A and B are shown apart, each in its own frame.
Chain A
């Protein structure tokens, strides 16, 4: 079983254009590590100094992981993880 990770347009160069890819792991950090193994280069776009990059938002089943446990947030099979760049509203 795997976890579906939705990839924003600007990072699809790493996933051969795929909008969503599968990855596995027990935490967001492991998930990103597995993504990196399958799609080299993507991790550096998401993580910097062991933290999510400032303008990258990652949602676990629509909830922002910064309010859950950051990169250490546990994930399990059947979850959906969505990556989005931070954009303005208003």
Chain B
């Protein structure tokens, strides 16, 4: 494979079978390796689509400052594109995100503004919206409400999956901005009306839910419940357990949100076996484990790792 620049190499990631974790020849689980994107996460797709849409719309031109609330991966993807295309980037990040993400962002030349840990990404969104209002010349791409986010998956991730696995029956991904599920979900549903679209939502420690009242909650503007078949809440303990199991059984070293999606994928596989149905279940490996080594997720017992992860944003 040859590309004219790093940006051109976004997407076309491998889909690999998991023969040891798949329960039978009729019920198979497949991993979409999104860590194989240029900056190592699935976010390279929406970041590129959002930037190129803004360029097409004439709101972004070299020299501009981009502002984005992000727990890390979107920021890193934007930082790479911004460096190559000549933009300045300011990321608003919750304090409780891993040190690796911060180092990467700084290395790419991005500025980081920290938002309070309590409230997690909700707070980052609130702080970023405030900054955007104070600085009308900054361009907030706003992944939570930007249709180019889900369109990147509708136009790239979804078609890639169907090309590689025309027999796909389930698609499982982590729920954050909801972009992956909205885009792939809409595409696959158009092509295969019976496909099941399953969301795996990370259940964090209590700190992240430390809002002052329930009306301060947040639902991304691009979220459309009707695209999903169902939605599971996955605890840190289950996500960690599956992340380690994926490495131990299939050799894949993935980030913790991948364990979250795998947990739901294995649940779907079990259901298919019980009901005697054939299934080809695709789940997303959103990133590799590298950026989470400092969280201690891969060391010691599961209980120790879970304790260390308490209060951290791991997806």
Q: Contact between B219 and A54 (Cβ–Cβ < 8 Å)?
A: yes
Q: Given the complex of chains A and B, what is the CA–CA distance between A9 and B216 in angstroms? A: 13
Given A9-B209, A10-B213, CB of A82 within 8 Å of CB of B233: yes
Q: Contact between B218 and A88 (Cβ–Cβ < 8 Å)?
A: yes
A33-62, CB < 8 A from B: 45, 53-57, 59, 62
B105-161, CB < 8 A from A: 119-122, 124-125, 143-144
Query: CB-CB < 8 A to B217: which residues of A?
Result: 54-56, 85-87
Q: Given the complex of chains A and B, what is the CA–CA distance between A57 and B204 in angstroms? A: 14
- Prevailing SS type, chain A contact patch: mixed
Q: Contact between A8 and B209 (Cβ–Cβ < 8 Å)?
A: yes
Q: Given the complex of chains A and B, what is the CA–CA distance between A64 and B208 in angstroms? A: 19
- Prevailing SS type, chain B contact patch: mixed
Q: Given the complex of chains A and B, what is the CA–CA distance between A85 and B203 in angstroms? A: 11
Q: Contact between A9 and B231 (Cβ–Cβ < 8 Å)?
A: no
Query: CB-CB < 8 A to A78: which residues of B?
Result: none
Q: Contact between A90 and B225 (Cβ–Cβ < 8 Å)?
A: no
Which residue on chain A has the smallest CB distance to residue B73? Answer: A90
A66-90, CB < 8 A from B: 66-68, 82, 84-90
Q: Contact between B219 and A89 (Cβ–Cβ < 8 Å)?
A: no
Shortest CB-to-CB span from B3 to chain A, Å, is 27
Asked whether A11 is an interface residue with its Cβ less than 8 Å from the other chain, the reply is yes
Of the candidates A56, A59, A67, A88, which one forms a contact with B220 in the assembled complex, judged by CB atoms under 8 Å apart?
A: A88
Asked whether B175 is an interface residue with its Cβ less than 8 Å from the other chain, the reply is yes
Q: Contact between A90 and B218 (Cβ–Cβ < 8 Å)?
A: no
Query: CB-CB < 8 A to A8: which residues of B?
Result: 206, 209
5 contacts between A and B (CB under 8 A): A63-B233, A87-B204, A90-B71, A90-B144, A90-B179
Which B residues fall within an 8 A CB radius of A?
70-71, 74, 119-122, 124-125, 143-144, 174-177, 179, 201-204, 206, 208-220, 225, 228-235, 315
Which A residues fall within an 8 A CB radius of B?
8-11, 45, 53-57, 59, 62-64, 66-68, 82, 84-90
What 9 A-B pairs are tightest by C-beta distance, nearest first?
A55-B217, A89-B176, A90-B176, A88-B121, A90-B177, A86-B217, A64-B231, A67-B230, A85-B217
